[in-house]
Amino acid sequence: MTTPSRRPPLRHAMAWLALLPMAATVLWVYVGSVAWSLRVSLSSSRTLPIADFVGLRQYERLFDSERWTTSLRNMALFGALFIVGCLVLGLLLAVFIDRRVKGEGLLRTVFLYPYAMSFVATGLVWQWLLNPELGLQSTVRGWGLAGFNFDWIVRQDMVMVAIAIAAVWQASGLVMALLLAGLRGVDDSLWMAARIDGIPPWRVYASIVLPQLGPSFATAFVLLAVGVVKVFDVVVAMTQGGPGLASEVPAKFIIDNLFVRANIGLASAASSVLLLTVLALLAPWLYARGRAARRDARRLAPGQAQARPDMPGAPRRPAAGAGGA
């Protein structure tokens, strides 16, 4: 009577039991903390959480604060420089290694190595390199080029660029590794066909290979974007937010208010704003992916129930499978 295809309910129960700790963690620790922060951000809490309700006063104060608006601007600038810089440099490195250069293993390690270092160590080293009295500038001047100027790290208008340079140096190796994996996944027959047709390699990359790297780019982008929102340690190590307020970032604002300035209400308001910013950026993207997934599902034969993707990442797989079949 019982057919083996029917799953015994107990298996489900075991699966749920196994998932329970994680689910509880997510609910209590993550969602719970978010709800708690939102609540605190609506109170007048200073050193300790207070259960009163002051409406949006902390948010008003937040956006009155010049330091906070500067922080948001700096984060946007840093984000643009950092993400574009990493993607471009990482892609160039990946392509360079993909050309089967000699000593590939060594180079790959060398390029990926900075990522194994913490942002704090990176920041400290770059802080010395960029320091006008100790680093590059004084060294080059010592060689006789008296007019050489490289003092970005102490300049109001260029300090975020200096920080982005250090961050790009650190993270582009990771992008290289991700894109290299994507490049290696490109079918060799494409390359052979291109060679027969006499297409120059750069053209093959630009028109054939790169368009296939979408998922790799998306992964790299998400990882880098997360790094931008939480950027903190590299700034603390390099400039401590200075000179003046020129390199303040939101995460530092939050930490300072949370621990130094005994102002957890304001800090919670700031982190809520940060969370909303991330959600506002993510929502259109999730929505677009969701729509694309539904469209793909509809386009595939409606009878193939098992092909319906459950996850936003799934739709590519049926397409690839169709190509292979």
**Interface residues toward other proteins, by CB under 8 A:** 2, 4, 8, 10-11, 13-14, 17, 46-48, 61, 64-67, 127, 131-134, 151, 153-154, 156, 238-246, 256-263, 266
Least Å distance, CB 26 to other proteins, is 21
Q: HSE on the CB side for 233, CA within 13 Å?
A: 12
Residue written as tokens 């000593």?
Answer: 103
CA distance 24 to 30: 9
The minimum distance between CB 14 and other proteins, in angstroms, equals 6
DSSP per residue, 238-287? HTTT-STTTT--HHHHHHIIIIIS--HHHHHHHHHHHHHHHHHHHHHHHH
C-alpha to C-alpha distance for 73 and 245, rounded to whole angstroms: 11
| Closest alpha carbon to 250 in 61, 66, 72 | 72
Min dist. Cβ of residue 87 to other proteins (A): 29
140: amino acid identity, one letter: V
Nearer to other proteins, 65 or 212 (CB): 65
Rounded to the nearest whole angstrom, what is the least distance from the CB of residue 5 to other proteins in the complex? 10
Containing H/E element for 292? helix 264-299
Q: Is the Cβ of residue 2 or residue 189 nearer to other proteins in the bound state?
A: 2
Residue number, 10 or 311, with CB nearest to other proteins = 10
The structure tokens listed for 224 are 């880098």
96 CB-contact burial (10 Å; exposed 0-12 / middle 13-18 / buried 19+):
middle
25 vs 304, beta carbon nearer other proteins: 25
Q: For residues 47 and 306, which CB has a smaller minimum distance to other proteins in the complex?
A: 47
Please report how close the Cβ of residue 124 comes to other proteins at its closest, in angstroms: 11
* Minimum CB–partner distance for residue 10 and other proteins (Å): 5
> Of the two residues 73 and 298, which places its CB atom closer to other proteins in the complex?
73
